[in-house]
């Protein structure tokens, strides 16, 4: 895949995205359009299947509507609400700290930029980029395992880490594609371009794909 192919691939991925369930952060945006809920859902989704995250979010958000609600809960209470999310013990501790850090540093509000979001407990660049894009509709490139794998598999880039992928995409990907790039590739990575045994026979962007990348199973 070449840089010149990006618009065509983006359009195809956009059409395919409409056929499948949206990633959990996108679903939360549709349901609530609340930056706090989107942030919490993104923290919970790390290393957890979207189906599990969605169920846990429904349970948690029935009780927690705001940082103030979260502040009232103990770590044990949060654990009960978010189990069986992956690493729920650690995530419960992070969520317990969240409202206090928000109050101390940001007057209780969710910041709308990557640098400040990274100051929150449990938030790294991947989460910060996703929240910036999904919650605030601001150009940001969230790179998770799907984005890293597929961009390399296609031959669009040659990088070793998600951070390298983000920095490379910032240089070559037109800004108008940044916000949806993650959602489109996550959806495609979960359904077609899987890490093991990708469904190349059913792939709608196979003609753009670097076959060497597939053989290497990046």
Task: Tell me which fold the domain 3-21+141-215 belongs to.
Answer: Endonuclease Iii, domain 2 (1.10.1670)
CB 56 within 8 A of CB 85: yes
- Could you say which residues of the chain have pLDDT below 50? 212-218
Same fold, 3-21+141-215 and 34-136: no
Residue 30 has a pLDDT of: 61
Task: Report the residue count for the chain.
Answer: 218
- The residue ranges of every structural domain in the chain are 3-21+141-215, 34-136
pTM as predicted: 0.88
Residue 214 has a pLDDT of: 46
Tokens linked to 95: 């969520």
pLDDT per position as a tens digit, 110-120: 999 999 999 99
Question: Can you tell me the distance from the alpha carbon of 129 to that of 114, in angstroms, rounded to the nearest whole number?
Answer: 6
Superfamily of 34-136 according to CATH: Hypothetical protein; domain 2 (1.10.340.30)
Determine how many CB atoms are found less than 10 A away from the CB of residue 19: 8
Residue 211 has a pLDDT of: 59
């Amino acid at each position: 895949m070449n840089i010149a192919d990006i618009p065509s691939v983006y359009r195809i991925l956009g059409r395919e995205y409409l056929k499948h369930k949206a990633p959990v952060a996108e679903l939360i945006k549709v349901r609530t359009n609340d930056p706090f809920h989107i942030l919490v859902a993104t923290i919970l989704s790390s290393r957890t299947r979207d189906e599990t995250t969605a169920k846990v979010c429904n349970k948690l958000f029935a009780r927690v509507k705001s940082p103030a609600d979260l502040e009232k809960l103990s770590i044990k209470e949060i654990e009960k609400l978010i189990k069986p999310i992956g690493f729920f013990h650690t995530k419960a501790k992070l969520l317990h700290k969240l409202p206090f850090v928000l109050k101390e540093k940001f007057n209780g509000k969710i910041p709308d930029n990557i640098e400040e979001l990274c100051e929150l407990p449990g938030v790294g660049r991947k989460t910060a980029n996703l929240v910036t894009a999904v919650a605030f509709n601001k150009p940001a490139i969230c790179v998770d395992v799907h984005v890293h794998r597929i961009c390399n598999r296609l031959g669009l880039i040659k990088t070793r880490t998600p951070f390298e992928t983000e920095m490379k995409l910032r240089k070559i990907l037109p800004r108008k594609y940044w916000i949806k790039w993650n959602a489109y590739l996550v959806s495609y990575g979960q359904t077609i371009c899987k890490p093991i045994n990708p469904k190349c026979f059913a792939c709608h962007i196979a003609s753009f794909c670097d076959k060497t990348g597939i053989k290497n199973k990046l």
